[in-house]
Each structure stands twice: as structure tokens, then as C-alpha cells.
A = this chain, B = another copy of it.
């Protein structure tokens, strides 16, 4: 189902790599081999071996004669050490599994959850061969350019309220885009994030539950970060873009992922402490549909109305012709332009 990253090492070797990077981060400039050896309680030879491993993973580490080592740059590769280093994460991201290629991060996370993985466990992949979108659709997932990540949650809620958690991921993605670019993202119900009217992220929640309790949820998050125009399929259902295309520059994937983890962790903590209401308000503040006339299509059903809000089950509340109110729980939304016939 999945392959480890090249150069993947045992748990303890990887832990030493992680700690060496931590030492570099907390010390500007050159760090002596003797210091690393002392801090990590490993031999000078072992320090040298780990430095070489890090170099093979794409870290540029300069050897300064008779002084030590200096970290010049980190690779544009998502590794668990780089992702969480120094972040004050409480739940989400406290365990991270980074994989080079998977069928789908949601599938891997679902299996891990079935085997008892703790809340907050994250699966990230560089490439998905069978990336999943909503309703059995495909999510285009080329290697090395985007973020594909799935988060395991175990909230003590009824399955009925699980759709609320979709809004944790959409608000977190918006937040991460705002904090790492000068773009203005908006959310289209139920779970798309748009920039300049085009889709840059898609979210897919899955759950395993019994009638009265959720066993686990998997929040799947796909963000088009550095994908270029040629990498999009021609037959897309909705116009799509990437952060790099819209911003006109390459985006630092690692930095984006770190900011996203922080946002997810903080939003989920707030949800557990304060419930749905603050999350709903933040979602509405970034919504592309609030107050707009929309047409929602679900199979044969079409509903047209003005969006008044979202309810406690994640449903879209519409004010329709004749003052009738309707709640829509599933479907594809089209925003109607002013003056255009929409029904």
C-alpha cells in the first residue's frame, strides 16, 4: 500500500536525525561535532554518519574546517522531523507518518485508525496514485509539488455531528493560505477552498462509527501548492489552480504544511473546548456563499436559494422562493451571478 521514503531509517536513527536538526535550529551558525556528540550521547563517527544521511535526504550541511557543521538549507521534502520541529502541537501532528507514494493517504490513515492509531496521527504522502475526492471522484495528486495529508480524530460526538469537523479542515486551510501567501482564499460549501474563483484545496472526511458514537474520523486534505498548469487534467469538473500559479511564485511546501498543522491543532482544541459555534462563525467569515444566491445540485434534485448559514449538521440553510426555508445536506454548489437566470 505504501513505500517508505528513500533513506528511511529505523525509529531510533530517525530520532537522532531529528535531534541533530533541532540542535541546528536552536544554534545559529556552526555547531561542532564534539558538541553534537555530547548532546546526543553518540560517537563522533555516528555524528558524521547521521550528517551524511541528512545530506542524502537533501539537507545542505556545510563542513567548516576545524569548527564543525552548519545547516545551510533544508530540502523541499516533507519529513516528520521537519514538519513538527519546534511546533507546540497538542494533538494533531504529535504522530506523523511521511510516505513517498501511497494509493491514498485517507486509506492508509483509515487502516491505521482501525489498528488503534491515537488521535492526531497524520499521514502525509509526496505522491498519491489513487487520490480520492468526494463521492468516489478522483483527486489529482502528482509527486513532489502538493500536500496530501490525512488526520485521524477520535472526538466523543454522535455521528450526526461529524460533518462539523469538515469545517476544522477548511478553516485551517484558509488560515494557512492567508499566513503563507498574499492570496484571498474563500470556502465554497461543503468543502472546497477557492482562490480567484478556482479550486486550490479539497477536503474528504471519512468516518467509522456505531449509531451512538464515532469510532474515528479521517480528515483528508489535499492542497494544490506548486502544481503547474500542465499538471491539471483537461476534463476537470470545476476550474482548479494552485497557490503557486495564483501567487506567481514557488511556495515553500514545508512551511505551508507546518502552518497548516498549527492551525488544525489550534482549531480542533478550540472545538473540543468551546464546541461548534466559534468554528461556524469562522467558516461563515470566509464563506464564498454566505448571502449569495446559489444553485445546489444533488443527483436529480436542484434547489435554488439565498444562503443564510450552515446548521449543526453541516447543512446549508437556504431561503428559497416564496419565503420557504430549505436545508441541503449534500450536493454541488454553483454561485449564481447577479442578473443571471439561476433557476
Contact = CB atoms under 8 A, between A and B. Distances in A.
Nearest to A331: B212
Interface string A60-96: 0000000000000000000000000000000000000
Chain A interface size band reads 20 to 34
A135 interface: yes
Contacts of A208: 206-208
Interface string A198-218: 000000111111111101000
A38 interface: no
Interface in A191-245: 191, 204-213, 215
A201 to B, nearest CB: 15
A162 interface: yes
Interface string A109-140: 00000000000000000000000001100000
- Among A134, A166, A190, A209, the one with the most B-chain Cβ atoms within 10 Å of its Cβ is A209
A281 to B, nearest CB: 20
Nearest to A166: B211
Contact of A213 (B135, B159, B210, B313): B135
A155 interface: no
A167 to B, nearest CB: 11
Contact of A210 (B204, B211, B314, B331): B204
Contacts of A212: 134-135, 190, 329-331
A144 interface: no
A215 B134 CA distance: 12
A160 interface: yes
Contacts of A163: 211
A158 interface: yes
B313 A210 contact: no
Interface string A175-193: 0000000000000001100
A28 B191 CA distance: 63
Interface string A152-169: 000000111011001000
19 contacts: A134-B212, A135-B213, A159-B207, A160-B160, A160-B313, A160-B329, A163-B211, A190-B211, A190-B212, A204-B210, A204-B211, A205-B210, A206-B209, A207-B207, A207-B208, A207-B209, A211-B330, A212-B330, A213-B330
Given A134-B210, A162-B211, 17 more contacts: A134-B212, A135-B210, A158-B329, A159-B160, A159-B207, A159-B209, A166-B211, A190-B212, A204-B210, A206-B208, A206-B215, A207-B210, A209-B209, A211-B314, A211-B330, A212-B329, A212-B330
